[in-house]
Amino acid sequence: MTKAAAIGGSPVAIGSRLRRALDAGRSVITAELAVPATVAHKLILERAKGLLRPQIVAMNITDGLRGRPALSPIAAAAILTHADLGVEPIVQVVARSRARNALIADLLGASALGVRNLLCMTGDVPESSGDIDDVDVFTLIELARGFPAGLGTELLGTAEPFCVGAAWSPFAPDPAHEAERLVRKHAAGAVFVQTQPMFDAHGFAAAIDRLPVSLTELPIIIGLAPIRSCDHAQRLGAIPGIVIPDRLLALLDRASDEADACERYWAYLDAELDWLTRNVPHRGFHLMPIGHSKRGIRQSSSFDRLYAAATRALDAAPPNLAEVAAPVEVSGRVFGTSAV
C-alpha cells in the first residue's frame, strides 16, 4: 500500500488523481453523471463521453438519485474505468437504506474494481422499498476514510485508501445545523466537499462566512447547474437545498421566450462567478447537468455553456484562490481573506 502526507497530514491514496490535484492546491472541475436503471454499457459510455471536457478531472456517478432504482454506481464506475476515458469516477455512496455489512461490501467491491474516490451522502428516501436506519453519513465517512484497516474484518490482499468527499447544502433552511454537520463530516474524514447548485454568489459568500475556522483548509467545490426558464427555475427552487434568488427569477420572468431566458441566465451566471471567484475562496466547480439522463442535443449544448462559464471563472481567478482580492462587504458581512 502506498501512502503519503496530504491535506490535514492524513494518508492519501496516491492512485487518486483528484486527490493529488487537491493536495497540490489546484482548482478542479468535476461533472455529474446521473445513472439510470440500465444494464447497457453503451448507454453509460455514451452519456459519460457527452460530459468529457479537457479540464474535467473526475465524474460523479449518482447512487439512486431521488431514491429511484438505478444501476449500481460501482458497476457504472467500473464500466468507465475499463473504457479508460481519461476521467476518474467519484462514486456516490449513500448511507440510507443500507446495512453496515452491505456498505462494507460496497467499499470492498469499489476498491477491487479500481474506484479511488467516494462522495459519502445521507441519500434520498427510497421510492419503492423500505428505509433502513443502520449507518448514518458520519459513520459511513469514517468507514470509507478508515478503509481498509478500519473495517473491523481481516482483508485478504492490499488496498489503497479512498479519497473521501462529502456534500454540503450552503442554502439549507437551518444554516447553523448544516454547518455543524459539515464540521462532523470533516472530523469523520471527508477531505473535500461538493455543494448543491449555487445560484446566488453573495448568499454563498454569507454561508462560507458562517463556517468555523476549523474548515478553512477544506477544499470546497461549488455546484453549478443550467436554467432554461423562469418556470424551470421555480421547479429547481422546490428541491431541498436549492435556493433561487428573487432577482434571478425577476430577470428570467422578463424574458420574451426560452432562448432569451437562457441567454439572460448565462450572462447572470458569468457575473455571479466573476464576483465569487474574485472574493470568495473555493477549489473549483461541480457541473450538474440536471435532466441529462433524459435529454439529448439541447442538454449537451447547455452543458457546453456551463463548462464554458466554469472555465472562464477559473481562468480569471487569482493564482491562489485561497488568497482572494481585497475584502468585500456584503449585507454587513466582510468577505475576502476573512471569509476562510
Which residue type, as a one-letter code, is found at position 77? Answer: A
* Helix/strand/coil for 334: strand
**C-beta of residue 226 within 8 angstroms of C-beta of residue 191:** no
Residue 37 confidence (pLDDT): 83
Nearest to 328 by CA among 338, 319, 314: 338
Q: Give the separation between CA 286 and CA 272, rounded to whole angstroms.
A: 15
Which residue type, as a one-letter code, is found at position 171? Answer: F
Cite the DSSP H helix spans in the chain.
17-23, 41-49, 73-83, 100-112, 137-145, 175-188, 201-210, 230-237, 246-253, 258-279, 297-315
Residue 130 confidence (pLDDT): 56
Q: pLDDT tens for residues 230-276? A: 999 999 999 888 999 999 999 999 999 999 999 999 999 999 999 99
Task: Specify the higher pLDDT residue, 316 or 333.
Answer: 316
- Residue with the three cell numbers 421566450: 257
With residue 193 as reference, give the H or E element that holds it.
Answer: strand 192-197
Q: pLDDT tens for residues 111-164? A: 999 999 999 998 766 555 555 677 899 999 999 998 877 776 777 777 888 999
- DSSP secondary structure of 65-106: GGG-----HHHHHHHHHHHT-S-EEEEEEE-TT--HHHHHHH
**C-beta of residue 336 within 8 angstroms of C-beta of residue 328:** yes
Which residue type, as a one-letter code, is found at position 181? Answer: R
Q: Give the separation between CA 322 and CA 217, rounded to whole angstroms.
A: 9
Nearest to 35 by CA among 83, 75, 84, 86: 75
Distance of CA 255 to the CA centre of its chain: 30
Q: Give the separation between CA 190 and CA 267, rounded to whole angstroms.
A: 34
Q: Give the separation between CA 128 and CA 125, rounded to whole angstroms.
A: 9
DSSP designation for 203 = H
**C-beta of residue 129 within 8 angstroms of C-beta of residue 101:** no
* Helix/strand/coil for 100: helix
Q: Computed from CA positions of residues 178, 179, 184, 190, in that sequence, does the dihedral angle turn out positive or negative?
A: positive
- DSSP secondary structure of 117-130: EEEEE--PPPSSS-
In order of their start, the domains of the chain are 7-339 (3.20.20.220)
Residue 235 confidence (pLDDT): 94
Cβ-proximal residues to 167 (8 Å cutoff; 6+ apart), any chain:
119, 121, 193, 194, 195, 196
291 Rama class: left (phi>0) / alpha (psi -120 to 50) / beta: left
Q: Give the separation between CA 111 and CA 93, rounded to whole angstroms.
A: 13
Residue 324 confidence (pLDDT): 47
User: pLDDT band at 9, cuts 50/70/90?
Assistant: very low
**C-beta of residue 195 within 8 angstroms of C-beta of residue 165:** no
Distance of CA 36 to the CA centre of its chain: 18
The rounded mean pLDDT for the chain is: 84
**pLDDT (average), residues 94-116:** 89
The pTM of this model reads 0.86
For residue 75, CA distances in Å to 33, 40, 48, 72, 79 come to 13, 11, 14, 5, 6
